């Protein structure tokens, strides 16, 4: 004899089995019909979803990490050697808080981006920047580059022009040419860069430590107030760059001539440089670039070191905001 409760339980189980079987059948039928056609809106959403992970893929397949903060007119930040996008956090936070969309990316081989064996040269760096701008559909962009990142921007303008670019800011930047040559007698001798290569290949961890504790932030100058935390963060970022990219980056930033690229600049350009920059001496960089670039304005920070975006961040942030308001 079947207990009444058993009949009820059996009935419920049968009902659940029917629902499950019906659901599987329905799903199978939908699968046979194939995916729903993409509307214009769904295609756009799909394209944006691909970048939800905050990476884009360049034309040679390298993944480039980027961070995207705020809303408003767009500023794209390019970092120096051998750092990553985090070097711009203070400017990103400040400018995004004042109504701008701020994007900073890790150069290939650095930080969270891919580390391919090849492509550690300025033609490729500029191509990567172009892919970022194109993929994110950016228009009327302000490009801001520090140190070697200023080379990315110069070569981008030289190769791709300024159709999508509204303004440029070069900070402690390497153009037009760092290396001493017959045509550039005020440059830095090749032996200096050979020694950097040797130090990076031998013990890059100690080299980065010495760079951050020494000339980069002017910590080797009397009266320096740069904190230990800033120097530690610098070392940590440096250690995230691949050895190949770091080593080849030395040749790239020291031997690339951006003279022709600078001659293609035709948008308002702010040049900021520290008077006491020990890494990229002002006499052979900003003072020359400011004469080569049309529509250039030069701001010299007395006593400021190479890493002035942190040591003089309040002054630089104010100048950057003022420049953006003036050109808008």
Residues with a catalytic annotation lie at 147, 277, 306
**C-alpha 304: how far from chain center:** 23
Question: Measured between alpha carbons, how far is 160 from 252 in angstroms, rounded to an integer?
Answer: 19
Output helix, strand, coil percentages for the chain, rounded to the nearest 5. Answer: 50, 15, 35
By the 10 Å C-beta count (0-12 exposed, 13-18 middle, 19+ buried), 210 is classed as middle
Question: Measured between alpha carbons, how far is 120 from 250 in angstroms, rounded to an integer?
Answer: 10
- Upper half-sphere CA count for residue 86 (Cβ side, 13 Å): 15
By the 10 Å C-beta count (0-12 exposed, 13-18 middle, 19+ buried), 163 is classed as exposed
Q: Which two tokens stand for residue 307?
A: 């890493």
């Amino acid at each position: 004899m079947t207990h009444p409760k058993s009949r009820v339980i059996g009935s419920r189980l049968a009902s659940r089995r029917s629902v499950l079987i019906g659901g599987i059948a329905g799903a199978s039928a939908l699968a046979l019909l194939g995916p729903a056609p993409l509307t214009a809106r769904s295609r756009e959403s799909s394209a944006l979803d691909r970048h939800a992970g905050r990476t884009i893929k360049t034309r040679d397949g390298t993944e480039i990490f980027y961070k995207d903060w705020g809303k408003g007119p767009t500023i794209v930040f390019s970092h120096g050697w051998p750092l990553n996008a985090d070097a711009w956090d203070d400017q990103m936070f400040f400018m995004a808080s004042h109504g701008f969309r701020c994007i900073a990316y890790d150069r290939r081989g650095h930080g969270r981006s891919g580390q391919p064996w090849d492509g550690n040269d300025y033609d490729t760096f500029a191509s990567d920047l172009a892919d970022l701008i194109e993929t994110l559909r950016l228009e009327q962009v302000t490009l801001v580059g520090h140190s070697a990142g200023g080379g990315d921007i110069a070569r981008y303008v030289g190769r791709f022009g300024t159709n999508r670019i509204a303004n440029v800011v070069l900070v402690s930047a390497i153009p037009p040419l760092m290396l001493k040559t017959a045509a550039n007698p005020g440059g830095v001798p090749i032996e200096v860069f050979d020694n950097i290569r040797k130090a990076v290949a031998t013990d890059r961890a100690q080299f980065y430590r010495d760079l951050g504790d020494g000339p980069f932030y002017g910590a080797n100058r009397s009266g320096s107030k740069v904190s230990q935390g800033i120097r530690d963060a610098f070392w940590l970022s440096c250690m995230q760059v691949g050895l190949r990219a770091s080593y080849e980056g030395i040749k790239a930033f020291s031997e690339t001539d951006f003279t022709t690229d600078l001659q293609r600049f035709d948008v308002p350009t702010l040049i900021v440089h520290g008077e006491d920059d020990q890494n990229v001496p002002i006499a052979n960089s900003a003072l020359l670039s400011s004469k080569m670039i049309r529509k250039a304005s030069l701001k010299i920070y007395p006593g400021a070191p190479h890493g002035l975006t942190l040591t003089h961040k309040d002054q630089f942030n104010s100048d950057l905001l003022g420049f953006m308001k003036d050109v808008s």
